[in-house]
Amino acid sequence: MIISLKELAEQIGAELTSGGSAEVCCVSPIAAAMAGDVTFIADKKHLRSLVDSSAAAVITSEKMDNIAMPQLIVGNVQKGLIAAIEVFAPALQRPQAGIDKTAVVADSAKISDTASVGPYCVIDAGVEIGANTVVSSFCRIGQNSVIGDNSRIDANVVIYHNCKIGSNVIIQANTTIGSTGFGYYFIDGAHRLIPHNGGVLIEDFVEIGANTCIDRAKFGQTVIGAGTKIDNLVQIAHNVQIGKCCLIAGKVGIAGSAVIGDGVVLAGGAGVGDNRRVGDGAVICANSIALSDVDAGSVVSGMPAVNLKVFQRTVIHSRRLPEYVKQIKELTKRIESLESSKDNKR
Amino acid sequence: MIISLKELAEQIGAELTSGGSAEVCCVSPIAAAMAGDVTFIADKKHLRSLVDSSAAAVITSEKMDNIAMPQLIVGNVQKGLIAAIEVFAPALQRPQAGIDKTAVVADSAKISDTASVGPYCVIDAGVEIGANTVVSSFCRIGQNSVIGDNSRIDANVVIYHNCKIGSNVIIQANTTIGSTGFGYYFIDGAHRLIPHNGGVLIEDFVEIGANTCIDRAKFGQTVIGAGTKIDNLVQIAHNVQIGKCCLIAGKVGIAGSAVIGDGVVLAGGAGVGDNRRVGDGAVICANSIALSDVDAGSVVSGMPAVNLKVFQRTVIHSRRLPEYVKQIKELTKRIESLESSKDNKR
Amino acid sequence: MIISLKELAEQIGAELTSGGSAEVCCVSPIAAAMAGDVTFIADKKHLRSLVDSSAAAVITSEKMDNIAMPQLIVGNVQKGLIAAIEVFAPALQRPQAGIDKTAVVADSAKISDTASVGPYCVIDAGVEIGANTVVSSFCRIGQNSVIGDNSRIDANVVIYHNCKIGSNVIIQANTTIGSTGFGYYFIDGAHRLIPHNGGVLIEDFVEIGANTCIDRAKFGQTVIGAGTKIDNLVQIAHNVQIGKCCLIAGKVGIAGSAVIGDGVVLAGGAGVGDNRRVGDGAVICANSIALSDVDAGSVVSGMPAVNLKVFQRTVIHSRRLPEYVKQIKELTKRIESLESSKDNKR
């Protein structure tokens, strides 16, 4: 797809400084931008690279005097960038509304006329699917589960029974929602599964990556709060309660009944112990495991996770241990020498 | 679903202290129980909360004098609780026995008349499926694999060829059994896959979560012992041997040819190095990695994992390192002072 | 399958020392080999076990005088072993060339006459599938994605749109290729997804395990270099660039835009931080997390990962911390004693 800079400026609501007739074909970061590409500057530290860039134009929130290339001036670079990327999105056929003839849909399921249920889906009794929602292929939607409007359920997603998925939700391929959690009692010499009568509640604007698992609750619901985003290969155990607008990166694991506040960030591979509470706005760094509660607004790291500064100090001092050990040995010698000289004086 | 306390007591075999005509609708933990809910007390530390609870009744193994609400007295709280939860399980249609007309089943497959093979399953040549076993939808069962009686294979599970799944086994959605393991030789400048002629043996009463992987063996079989329970997103590599009645929590990884005893607990995110042995009844704590063998009955933590007490002591002392370093500096000064005073006396 | 040693020697191109008429049925490692099994010796440390073995024959690269059993002498043990294992591979029906009648294939898809598209696959518009490639069942291949020759896509694999998969590639069950990455901007109080116009490029001879995720790029392509092998449950984020002939074991996580060189080994559970560079031939040990760049050829461990020797030294010294603390206390006492004796003398 090729359009003129003038057209692009109009489509993303930008003020264009020059070069309106130049043609552009895609958006690229500065380091990769070639002639014909539109780039963007979100951080002034990249200014020098921008000067050397052969990009056709730059999206910026401030007019820059020392830059020769045409500038697309927008109120918010990130917003302008997203708009520009959308302009150049690859052309794809949209799934058609309606139920594919190969889908197996229970009589009692209620599917909006504007929803799309793709080939080889199995939709069980009592399921409801809202307006404009797209269910891809090979999805199994269990009994009485409900999906809101404008949501997207990708291929091979399994949603068990009695789950409630909101509107504007995205669930990517091979993800499992509503599996039975890992809860056993050891009775009469065997582990006996605690039945999970509860469900899963995924609120509006939640987005979930691929091959992720969210277990149903034993009692009540496992809850993912509105606007929270979850990456690939994440494990969310039974009865976990996650607040709004959290970011939960790849390979995170959250153990049973943990309570995560609003706006929490769990970096890649982080973990939260069962029944732990993580306060609003807290950050758990990559591969760090909260075995105790985490205060709101704090940043923790390590296993077990502690305040990031404590962790960093511990790491630095640990690496220097051989040096400290040498110092202790040296001090010991010096003390021995002092002691022997004292003895000699006696 | 609403029943009287009297009916509930009968169904779970409990002795009811009072209030038989009261109606109850579900089981809830003390902290969440509302009027009309049945709760339970498994640990006396929750007694105070119970006194304040508005629950309709409590399941207990001992009659409590200071509790006003009706009591359901059972021999074993956990057993009684499981029975009560089952009474209130959501009403779901059971899959019908028989092979769905959309399933693709090889002529040579032997499927019990009482088994259920759901829509869009593909069952390959030589497969056997036992009595009352339910295979959901979009499952691929590879050539010559065998599944016992009363087992449940959920949606999108893939079982490769020559795997043996026992009776009373549960495998949840999107799990993969019998994939080829990660075994390569570097020959003539390229990694060459070692063919995996072996299979997987999953014994009776094993339960496996969602999106978990169990690789087939290079030689012989990868074995999961009877009664072992495995959570979501677990990686079990080729030729691993797992004993009976183990608990393997989410995100655990067990490397090739490791041997795990009976009754072992691997907490969330734990790992076992290749060819390592973990003795009966050992516990590997959350996110801890056994790079050496683990003695039977021991509890280990850390990376690399060591005895839990050693780990805890190491963590505590590591956090105090800045203090120790200060002490060393102070001692150095005091020694210097002693040395200089000694010199002065000379 | 049973063949004579003579036949086996011919099939794997080995020189047989004796016993050509003996019949053998499989290959087994020394510790497990029973009568009728062929074993192999790749490392002389197993020589003693070999002497005691009841195996029918041994594959070796050097004739051994002190071994009574027939020897199959090959130029390269590993190559001979792979060949022998292949001889005894279980007999399985090969999928037939052609498109299964239940597959849903877009008119514009171009599928080689010799390719096999299994039951219940959905192949979207513009897809191309090369000669002899086998696509199993329940696979969704998104618009305009291309798969080369001789590749194998197992059951329930999802490949999103605009991905390019090379020749001689294997992708195992339940793996997801081309999911949208985890990239958000926080705008006007909500996390807004950055559209991912980029794709995924998987070069020739790449092999990928089960339940693994490779995200598409925001810009350009996420790249997996030729000959690289990836295990199960691995997370590869958007815009990651992986070189040739790497080994990436189970549960590894590579964060966005990281650049991995050629011949890199990432052991089980290892991780690489976003935008980090890992040089050619580097090794990141199990469960170790590279939060900074890793030099070519280096071996690192720990969280954060440092040189393996530094890590090991740190671990050893950390375990001894209680002892060091005791030493510091003792030194303090001895200094106090020296100081008091000095004071007494005044």
Residues present in chain A in total: 346
- Per residue in A163-216, pLDDT tens? 999 999 999 999 999 999 999 999 999 999 999 999 999 999 999 999 999 999
Q: Do A156 and C158 touch (CB under 8 A)?
A: yes
Whole-angstrom distance, CA of residue B143 vs CA of residue B119 = 19
Q: Do B156 and A138 touch (CB under 8 A)?
A: yes
Q: Do A211 and C182 touch (CB under 8 A)?
A: no
Find how far residue C346's CA is from the centre of its chain: 73
Which pLDDT does position C42 carry in this prediction? 86
Q: Mean pLDDT check: name the lowest of B31-35, B147-151, B242-246, C144-148.
A: B31-35
Which pLDDT does position C258 carry in this prediction? 98
Residue A10, min C-alpha distance to chain C (Å):
19
**Mean pLDDT of chain B, nearest integer:** 96
Q: Which residue of A has its CA nearest to B34?
A: A220
Q: Do A120 and B138 touch (CB under 8 A)?
A: yes
Who among B158, B273, B318 is closest to C286 (CB)?
B273
Contacts of A227 in chain C (CB under 8 A): 190-191
CA distances from B337 to A337, A345, B59, B315 (A): 14, 18, 71, 34
Q: Which residue of C has its CA nearest to A172?
A: C179
Which pLDDT does position C210 carry in this prediction? 98
C191 an active-site residue? no
- Per residue in A216-226, pLDDT tens? 999 999 999 99
Find how far residue A63's CA is from the centre of its chain: 33
pLDDT at B124 over 90: yes
Which pLDDT does position B122 carry in this prediction? 98
Which pLDDT does position B236 carry in this prediction? 98
Contacts of A220 in chain B (CB under 8 A): 28, 32
Contacts of B160 in chain C (CB under 8 A): 173
Chains in contact with C via at least 3 Cβ–Cβ pairs below 8 Å: A, B
Helix runs in A95-213, H state only: none
Report residue A260 as tokens: 């995560």
CA within 13 Å, CB half, B239: 19
CATH class of segment(s) C3-87: alpha beta
Mean pLDDT of A311-337: 94
Spell out the residues 6+ positions from residue C317 whose beta carbon is closer than 8 angstroms to its own. Answer: A318, A321, A322, A325, C324
All residue ranges of chain C with pLDDT < 50 are none
Tell me the pLDDT band of B345, cut-offs 50, 70 and 90: low
Residue B231, min C-alpha distance to chain A (Å):
6
Q: Do B211 and A176 touch (CB under 8 A)?
A: yes
Pick among B93, B232, B327 to test the A interface (most A CBs inside 10 A): B232
Reading phi first (left if > 0) and then psi (alpha if -120 to 50, else beta), residue A205 is in: left
Which residue matches tokens 């709060």? A225
Among B84, B87, B40, B37, which Cα is nearest to B64's? Answer: B40
pTM for this entry: 0.97
Contacts of B302 in chain A (CB under 8 A): 303
Burial of C242 (0-12, 13-18, 19+ CB in 10 A): buried
Q: Which residue of C has its CA nearest to A84?
A: C195
Chains in contact with B via at least 3 Cβ–Cβ pairs below 8 Å: A, C
Q: Which fold has domain B98-308?
A: UDP N-Acetylglucosamine Acyltransferase; domain 1 (2.160.10)
Which pLDDT does position B42 carry in this prediction? 86
Q: Do C250 and B253 touch (CB under 8 A)?
A: yes
pLDDT at A343 over 80: no
Pick among B163, B235, B238 to test the C interface (most C CBs inside 10 A): B235
Contacts of A82 in chain C (CB under 8 A): 185, 187, 192-195
Which pLDDT does position C346 carry in this prediction? 56
Q: Do C322 and B317 touch (CB under 8 A)?
A: yes
**Mean pLDDT of chain A, nearest integer:** 96
Write the DSSP symbol of residue C320. Answer: T
Exposure letters C267-304 (e unless 16+ CB within 10 A, then b): bbbbbbbbebbbbbbbbbbbbbbbbeebeeebbbbbbb
* Bridge partners, B176 (sequence order): B158, B213
Which pLDDT does position C279 carry in this prediction? 98
Who among A161, A185, A321 is closest to B90 (CB)?
A161
ipTM: 0.96
Contacts of A335 in chain C (CB under 8 A): 331, 334-335, 338
Report residue A131 as tokens: 């307006």
Whole-angstrom distance, CA of residue B56 vs CA of residue B69 = 7
Give the torsion sign (CA, C111, C112, C115, C116): positive
Q: Do C205 and B192 touch (CB under 8 A)?
A: no
Who among A219, A255, A314 is closest to B318 (CB)?
A314
pLDDT at A231 over 90: yes
Which pLDDT does position A345 carry in this prediction? 66
